[in-house]
Amino acid sequence: MPGPVFHNRFDPRCLRRGLALAAIGALAPGAGHAQTVSPPIAEYQQRARASFQLSNGSIFPLTVVLEPRGFDVTENGDVIAAPLDTARVRIKLSATSFRMQPRSTYTVFYEAVADSAPAWFTISSAMSGARTDNGLNLRIILPHVVYLNQKQPLRKDEVAVRRLELNTETKKARVLLENLSPHLGRVLEFSLATAKGQSRSTGAFPLLPGHRRWAEVDWDLDQPPARVTARFAKFSIDTTLAPAPATPAAADQADDAGRSPDATRSGTPPPAGTDRR
């Protein structure tokens, strides 16, 4: 069985919305950096027997409450909370609540198994007890995200490149990818390049079963993008597209963090080809 894969960087969109990194109250500069989770993301095949570490670098003792949660990802990369499918995904934690002393670490052990793969969930660590310099109480939520992959890897013919858009006003370019299969995949590297070879890239991100996903890069080059490259674990996509202008409808979709009625919950894959708009 392949070993686990850990990721040290979380998608910035995931940090910004939805399931989490939420703070109650206004964080003082640097206040949220005293608490960390490592690794923030981990991947396993079908089941996991693993751990993650929480760090409290503050001067305050903290009360920590753990809660497994489901989540979904919109086509714009926004993470939204969803109920955990406890009938299909079973998670056992070494502890569900505990105290952390100032400047200490705590290791959480867990086991997870899904009746069918792929599946994905987060173990959220809600930390309370820290305060800002002006005495405001904080509640910080740190997610440890787990993907339970299927045995069969995502194939090249299961991914479609739908559209390339260029917004000359915001200097952004983006590509719409679609996973046509019930298999979970991950884009490891994504870049756009001009006909002359100048390129811009963005970080890694998951491509969930039956989902569409916009991959966006900053575009400060004089020439428009013409080539799309996406590298997965077992294959790469390298194709040329003519960029289209960003439409008002696309802009409206970018602001919509909602999800369709057939959206997945707790990693239950929708039928292959489900439109994720």
* Same-domain check for residues 131 and 10: yes
**Is residue 14 pLDDT above 60, yes or no?**
no
CA distance 113 to 120: 10
Please report, rounded to a whole number, the percentage of residues in the chain having pLDDT higher than 90. Answer: 72
Q: Taking the CB of residue 234, how many other CB atoms lie within 10 A of it?
A: 10
Average of per-residue pLDDT across 141-146: 96
Query: What's the whole-model pTM score?
Result: 0.77
Least confident of 16-20, 30-34, 159-163, 249-253: 16-20
Looking up residue 211, the CATH number of its domain turns out to be: 2.60.40
Residues 38 and 76 in one domain: yes
Is the distance from CB of 63 to CB of 97 less than 8 angstroms? yes
pLDDT reading at 257 higher than 80: no
Domain count, the chain: 2
Same domain, 113 and 162: no
Instruction: Let me know if 106 is exposed, middle or buried by CB neighbors in 10 A (0-12, 13-18, 19+).
Output: middle
211 within 8 A of 276, measured Cβ to Cβ: yes
Q: Are residues 53 and 145 in the same domain?
A: yes
Q: Which domain, by its residues, includes 172?
A: 156-248
Q: Does the structure show a pLDDT above 70 at 171?
A: yes
Residues 161 and 122 grouped into a single domain:
no
In this structure, of 88-97, 127-136, 256-265, the range with the lowest mean pLDDT score is: 256-265
The pLDDT value recorded for residue 4 is 59
**Confidence label for 33 from pLDDT (cuts 50, 70 and 90):** low
